[in-house]
């Protein structure tokens, strides 16, 4: 079995998608796969905080990632389908050359880039090998520009029904692709290495400390802003000096302040290596999981599966979810009673949720216990790797 995996984000670049792929591929032998990504993409993310590099062979395609970004902006402004078609043909040619050279028996294309999924699909058809779409997000809804959205939707209508397999990270995207295309996608929740989370996490909230910590770890952008702004208002209204928000993120403190995430009760931290996150998470009193109520891409928020979700469940700490009621995240935590969900776009309701977690020890313990049970059931990387390997083997031998 040998397959090509095409993805904009690959280890060691820092992204949830890169970390998922690291967990899935780290135990494969180097001659069982090759990796294809855009040249220099890794230079534009925060470095030193991602996973290790994978041992398989990496191929970097041209032009440079930033050049592609500039050309997409120009094409959108000029309403030029011609530029998109030229870029797609270039991508098809490069992928075909690499995949043929590597003698791959299947190709896995990940969302995150406009051209990777359709280009890999065309190559798979020309070479007569299975095509697997790994939809980390809803492909056609990732693009805000009408030109780019229409381009993606046109190809999505072809590549999803034509795929040998479609992999999605949650039940909501599974339902969406079933509704739109009649496709039964395979759900693989984003894997988490549970062995990194110790059973005895120390403080369980039953004793009083000088500080009550609300913790957030991860990127912060348009998909989070108004949920964080609600948290800031909620903390101000509580007027409890011992309650502090700690943020570990690659985004700068100045950018967070510009977007209304500021206050004397916030401690900003530089992003830390991923191997330090389990201990940091398990020392917190509650873990914050936000998604925006008003963002440029509501469909993405609805079907989003944050890469850190398994980590938060595995940490055995109470999770405070603040996300729209129709989102997968709110549904999952409510369905399994493994987090306190505030699905109203209301700082006052969020303040009530924080107070409940502070004052109710039984609630904290029950949520923490249920959270770890769900981590073992849905996010254990050992189980998910086995499912992924079996899926690939079936395609390469079938």
Residue 266 confidence (pLDDT): 94
61-108 pLDDT per residue, tens: 999 888 999 999 999 999 999 999 999 999 999 999 999 999 999 999
CA-based nearest residue to 88, from 107, 103, 75, 106: 75
* % of the chain residues with pLDDT over 90: 81
Spatial distance between the Cα atoms of 187 and 269, rounded to a whole number of angstroms: 34
What is the Cα Rg of the chain in Å?
A: 21
Helices 81-102 + 146-162 axis angle, to 10: 40
The values of phi and psi at residue 342, to 5°, are: -115, 100
Spatial distance between the Cα atoms of 298 and 301, rounded to a whole number of angstroms: 5
289-320 pLDDT per residue, tens: 999 999 888 889 999 999 899 999 999 999 99
Query: Considering the entire predicted model, what is its pTM?
Result: 0.93
CA-based nearest residue to 148, from 66, 222, 88: 88
Spatial distance between the Cα atoms of 62 and 40, rounded to a whole number of angstroms: 9
149-204 pLDDT per residue, tens: 999 999 999 999 999 999 999 999 999 999 999 999 999 999 999 999 977 555 45
* % of the chain residues with pLDDT over 70: 94
Spatial distance between the Cα atoms of 232 and 266, rounded to a whole number of angstroms: 9
**In the chain, helix, strand, coil percent, each to 5?**
50, 15, 35
Tokens of 87: 């870029």
CA-based nearest residue to 197, from 372, 384, 388: 372
- What is the Cα 175 distance to its own chain's centre? 18
Query: What mean pLDDT is predicted for residues 347-363?
Result: 96
pLDDT mean across residues, the chain: 92
Q: Which residues of 138-167 are buried (b: 16+ CB within 10 A; e: fewer)?
A: bbbbbbebebbbebbeebbeebbeebbbbb
108-123 pLDDT per residue, tens: 999 999 999 999 999 9
170 DSSP assignment: S
Spatial distance between the Cα atoms of 307 and 30, rounded to a whole number of angstroms: 25
**Residue 43: is its pLDDT beyond 70?**
no
**What number of helices (H) and strands (E) belong to the chain?**
15, 13
**Is the Cα torsion angle 191, 193, 199, 205 positive or negative in sign?**
negative
Name which of 127-131, 261-265, 365-369 the model is least confident about: 261-265
**Residue 47: is its pLDDT beyond 90?**
no
Query: What mean pLDDT is predicted for residues 393-398?
Result: 78
Spatial distance between the Cα atoms of 394 and 381, rounded to a whole number of angstroms: 20
Spatial distance between the Cα atoms of 383 and 339, rounded to a whole number of angstroms: 23
Is the CB of residue 357 less than 8 Å from the CB of residue 340? yes
Residue 49 confidence (pLDDT): 52
CA-based nearest residue to 309, from 144, 391, 191: 191
Tokens of 157: 């209508």
Is the CB of residue 39 less than 8 Å from the CB of residue 67? no
DSSP 70-112: HHHHHHHHHT-HHHHHHHHHHHHHHHHHHHHHHT-SEEEEESS
227-256 pLDDT per residue, tens: 999 999 999 999 899 999 999 998 999 999
Residue 81 confidence (pLDDT): 95
Note the maximum CA span of the chain.
Answer: 65
The HSE-up count of residue 132 (CA atoms within 13 Å, CB side) is: 24
Residue 200 confidence (pLDDT): 59
């Amino acid at each position: 079995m040998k397959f090509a995996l095409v993805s904009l984000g690959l280890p060691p670049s820092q992204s949830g998608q890169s970390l998922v792929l690291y967990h899935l591929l780290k135990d494969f032998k180097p001659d069982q796969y090759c990796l294809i990504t855009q040249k220099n993409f890794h230079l534009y993310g925060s470095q030193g905080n991602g996973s290790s590099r994978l041992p398989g062979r990496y191929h970097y395609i041209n032009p440079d990632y930033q050049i592609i970004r500039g050309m997409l902006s120009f094409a959108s402004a000029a309403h030029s389908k011609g530029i998109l078609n030229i870029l797609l043909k270039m991508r098809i040619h490069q992928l075909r050359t690499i995949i043929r050279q590597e003698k791959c028996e299947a190709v896995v294309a990940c969302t995150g880039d406009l051209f990777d999924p359709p280009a890999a699909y065309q190559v798979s058809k020309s070479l007569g090998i299975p095509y697997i779409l790994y939809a980390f997000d809803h492909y056609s809804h990732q693009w805000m520009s009408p030109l780019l959205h229409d381009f993606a939707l046109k190809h999505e209508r072809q590549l999803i029904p034509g795929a040998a397999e479609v992999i999605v990270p949650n039940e909501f995207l599974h339902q969406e692709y079933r509704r739109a295309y009649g496709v039964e996608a395979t759900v693989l929740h984003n894997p988490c290495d549970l062995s990194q989370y110790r059973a005895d996490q120390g403080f369980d909230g039953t004793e009083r400390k000088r500080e009550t910590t609300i913790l957030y770890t991860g990127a912060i952008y348009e998909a989070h802003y108004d949920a964080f702004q609600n948290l800031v208002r909620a903390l101000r209204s509580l007027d409890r000096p011992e309650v502090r928000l700690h943020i570990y993120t690659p985004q700068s403190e100045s950018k967070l302040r510009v977007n209304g995430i500021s206050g004397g009760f916030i401690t900003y931290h530089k992003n830390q290596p991923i191997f330090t996150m389990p201990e940091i998470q398990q020392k917190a009193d509650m873990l914050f999981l936000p998604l925006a109520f008003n963002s440029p891409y509501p469909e993405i928020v609805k079907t989003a599966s944050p890469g850190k979700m398994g980590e938060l469940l595995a940490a055995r700490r109470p999770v405070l979810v603040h996300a729209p009621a129709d989102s997968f995240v709110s549904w999952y935590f409510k369905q399994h009673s493994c987090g306190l969900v505030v699905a109203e776009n209301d700082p006052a309701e969020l303040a009530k949720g924080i107070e409940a977690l502070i004052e109710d020890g039984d609630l904290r313990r029950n949520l923490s216990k249920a959270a770890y049970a769900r981590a073992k059931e849905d996010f254990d990387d050992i189980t998910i790797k086995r499912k992924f390997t079996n899926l690939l083997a079936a395609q390469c031998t079938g």
